[in-house]
Structure 1
Amino acid sequence: MRLAADRARRATSRASQSSSQRKLRLTIDREHVLSREAETASQRELRLTADRERHTLSRESETYTERELRLTADRERHILSRESETFTQYEDRLTNDRVHHNIIRSLEDEHEHEQRLERDANITIL
């Protein structure tokens, strides 16, 4: 229940953010990601394990209705955030996404790479 309340509070908080607050949050998020480049493999594995556990617990405690509400809110938030996006901003966002994914993938070891490929194959099959 606490996780659901946290998600709802975060969604409400982000929905009421001004443009400058959103930009600040996204800048901090990007800086946080870049700081991960300095992580050792063991630190990274500990962080990813904790993230997976937190994510699993969060989703396990979610009811069907909460899940639908979360997904609907996510879709609406994405639509609103990209509604006023210019073509240049769109290209910049895609470029930043590619850079981010390349950084993350460059940190993968062989085992993680195989796991990701298996997950991607399973998603494609579904």
Structure 2
Amino acid sequence: MLFLFNDRVLTITGNADFAINAGIPSSAVARYTLNDSILAVQTAIMEKPNLAAESSQKAAALAWLIASRSTANAILFIAPPKCKRPQEVGFRLATVSLTTLGSLKAQQDAGRLTSGIINTSVWQSVAA
């Protein structure tokens, strides 16, 4: 499964065990709602704003958590400067076509994926 996490297209091949092995508590995997999962990502982004690039396994596990509780396959989480609480981390969720995600992944693999391409392909399309 392809999943856009901020500026990275991740390939998620795991399940609950994958998330647990990546450090997500088993209680979270079993009981978290979508809102709880969003808060978990907000907390992680607050601590490490470039999470998808710096810790792709944890990002993939958090992406799995969101995907398993929604139809979203794209998320954007941005911590404002001097963020003091996880709830201050802004976010958007979207469901985009597999064709779009595949195209973004190909561009990422070729080293050509930019935030402008992501904005045009995903976030501006969702807003329209």
What TM-score, normalized by structure 1, do the two folds share? 0.25
Structure number with higher helix proportion: 1
Structure number with higher strand proportion: 2
What TM-score, normalized by structure 2, do the two folds share? 0.24
